Amino acid sequence: MSQLRPGREVMVIGVGLHPFGRFRDKDLASLARDAVVAALKDSGVPWKDIPVAYFGHVYYHGMSVGETALGPLGLTGIPIINVENACCSGSSAFWQAYWGIASGMFDLALAFGAEKVPSGPVTVTAADSPERYIGGDHMMAGYALRARRYMAETGAPPEALAQVAVKARQIAAMNPFAHRKDTYTLEQVLASRLVADPLTLFQCCPTSEGAAAAVLCAKESLGQFGVDAGRAIRVAAATLTSGSYNGKGSDHSAFSPYRTAQAGQQAYEMSGLGPEDVDLVQVHDAATIAEMQHLEALNLVPPGEGWRATLDGRTALGGAIPTNTDGGLLAMGHPFGATGIRMVHETVTQLRGEAGPRQVPGAQVGLAQCSGAGDVTTVQIFTK
Amino acid sequence: MTQPNRNKPQSVDSRRLKLTNDAGTQGVLLGSCCRQCGICVFGSASFCQSCTGGDLATVELSGQGILYSYTIVRVPPAGWPGPVPYILGQVELSEGPHVLAEIVDCPETGLEIGMAVVLALAPVKTEGSEAVKVVYKFRPQLTTAGASKARLEAQRKEKP
């Protein structure tokens, strides 16, 4: 498979975030630009040196928003590509930036993403779709179907699911960029309003606004651009998959976690690393159930053990496999275009040893996984 | 020459549900089976999702299956025309494919993973017009519903 044969080493040399939350008076392009300026400053590379940019977003804010966001930094004439790939839009932009460099086409690349997600349940299909009448197009109902099945198969109690949300808020209380920083008890999570049982409101990620950006550079070009090699983080793998036949058909809402296994396996092969090497992980915890299922699919906990790992504290900061170390989707919120690059931001910050009170001591290898409608899945592995 | 009746009930998705009478009270779910690899999927298709071959037969599915999972949706998606809450089921058809659809004629307490369900059609009014769409749903197969009800009543009797 060609995507497993990179031509040369790629490093992340700068990351930037716009805080996640609600910013009614700021347009999408402004959110995005703030994250880009932060990432460029972090990298030390000036905008005029960037030869290509990929922008992830989903909702329509007019055409060519990537160009609108970057134009005010100076019209340098570079290719700017707008990327829509559902909840993996940001990580797909990152994937393209990675391969743009690995293939030898560019020495530097910018990946950024932003979103202003409207409030209320998220749907995947267009307004005139038959799904409006069938009732199956409901993101959290899809996760609820998975949750009930998982609980029946593994014996996981409702408290195990709720603990994922409790952990997310505890971590986010230490993260100034998070949408939700207030903490909850297990009882409060379980007693919050039912959205689609067994999932209560606090077990569903908030819809949010925010932006994230990353600057990538060929390892062999670090010197040429005066980059601090000591803070550069290596991209050991970047994979992207879509749905493959699973014997059951593809109903977009009932995402099957096995697709994570596929993208994860490719990433392990590409990096030459295995689950035992991973020190910390970011997974797509759009709902509590998703975190434990993705951890199982990535072989970071044994099959059917995700809920026990959660209750045991194995997934907490200080546990054997610290998971969603910035608060994840459940507390950061989920601006679709930004989320995948937000995970890159967190992983790079951790591997640099710059995560402050959230720091995982001695972290050498980090993995980030994102999944979205269309059964899109991305996995990246980063090493110090 | 007869004029087409604009108010005649229409299938919500003619690739998945074929109506077999004008009143829209009877119909069958459609599937596609690959003549090369034998895989069957829900809905009509031109190409096989598994082997990508183009030699497919449209088949009528039995409309029978088991409840693989379910949830009670209390915050509906935008545009949902039905009552709230509603039960959303993930049904494994006896031919294999999974279908998401509303579960009707079943009390919340009667839901059980693995229970037998069968196709049920229901008319749904479309927004801003008199047109009616016929939507595929599932209801408990009578024998199972009867058994569940009997079990529930037995449980109630045991309590003081």
H/E stretch holding A297: helix A288-297
- Provide the ipTM: 0.92
Closest Cβ–Cβ partner in B43, B73, B81 for A133: B81
- Mean local confidence (pLDDT), A255-272: 88
Q: A306-353, pLDDT tens digit by residue?
A: 999 999 999 999 999 999 999 999 999 999 999 999 999 999 999 999
Are B81 and A145 within 8 A, CB to CB? no
Q: Answer yes or no: are the C-beta atoms of A15 and A39 closer than 8 Å.
A: yes
Q: Which residue of A has its CA nearest to B51?
A: A245
Are A141 and B98 within 8 A, CB to CB? no
Q: Answer yes or no: are the C-beta atoms of B124 and B82 closer than 8 Å.
A: yes
- B84: closest CA of chain A, how far (Å): 11
- pLDDT over 50 (residue A1): no
Q: A2-120+206-383 falls under which CATH superfamily?
A: Thiolase/Chalcone synthase (3.40.47.10)
Contact partners, residue A19, CB within 8 Å, separation at least 6: A176, A177, A210
**Total structural domains within chain B:** 1
Domain holding B38, by residue range, is 10-158
Q: What is the model's pLDDT at position B152?
A: 55
Judging by DSSP bridges, how do beta strands B17-19 and B27-34 pair with one another? antiparallel
- B1: closest CA of chain A, how far (Å): 31
Within-domain flag for B123: yes
Weakest-pLDDT range from A240-254, A271-285, A311-325, A339-353: A240-254
- Mean local confidence (pLDDT), A107-125: 92
Is A144 an 8 Å CB contact of chain B? yes
Q: A293-310, pLDDT tens digit by residue?
A: 999 999 999 999 999 999
Testing the interface with A: which of B68, B90, B94 to mutate, by most A Cβ within 10 A?
A: B90
DSSP notation for A131-169: HHHH----HHHHHHHHHHHHHHHH---HHHHHHHHHHHH
Q: What is the model's pLDDT at position A252?
A: 43
Tell me the residues of chain A between 170 and 199 that have a Cβ less than 8 Å away from chain B. Answer: 193-199
The 10 Å CB-count burial string (b at 16+, else e) for A78-101 is: eebebbbbbbbbbbbbbbbbbbbb
Q: Is A87 part of the annotated catalytic residue set?
A: yes
Within-domain flag for B82: yes
- B120: closest CA of chain A, how far (Å): 12
Are B13 and A130 within 8 A, CB to CB? yes
Q: Map out the domains of chain A as residue ranges.
A: 2-120+206-383
Contact partners, residue A280, CB within 8 Å, separation at least 6: A321, A322, A323, A325, A347, A350, A360, A363, A366, A367
Within-domain flag for B1: no
Q: What is the model's pLDDT at position B151?
A: 54
Distances (CA, A) of B129 to A209, B6, B14: 36, 11, 19
Closest C-alpha among B44, B25, B24, B26 to residue B34: B44
Within-domain flag for B102: yes
Is A343 an 8 Å CB contact of chain B? no
> Which residues in chain A are closer than 8 Å to B124, comparing Cβ atoms?
133
> Which residues in chain B are closer than 8 Å to A136, comparing Cβ atoms?
88, 100-101
> Which residues in chain B are closer than 8 Å to A199, comparing Cβ atoms?
71
Closest C-alpha among B44, B96, B41, B42 to residue B68: B96
Predicted TM-score of the model (pTM): 0.93
Residue pointed to by tokens 């275009």? A337
**How sure is the predictor about A71, in pLDDT bands with cuts at 50, 70 and 90?**
very high
Residue pointed to by tokens 């229409």? B10
The 10 Å CB-count burial string (b at 16+, else e) for A171-195 is: bbbbbebbbbeeebeeeebbebebb
Question: pLDDT of chain B along its 160 residues, tens only?
Answer: 455 566 789 999 999 999 999 999 999 999 999 999 998 889 999 999 889 999 999 999 999 999 999 999 999 988 899 999 999 999 999 998 899 999 999 999 999 999 999 999 999 988 777 789 999 999 999 765 555 555 555 555 444 4
Within-domain flag for B58: yes
Closest C-alpha among A261, A247, A339, A259 to residue A297: A261
**Residue type for A309, please?**
A
CA end-to-end distance (rounded Å), chain B? 69
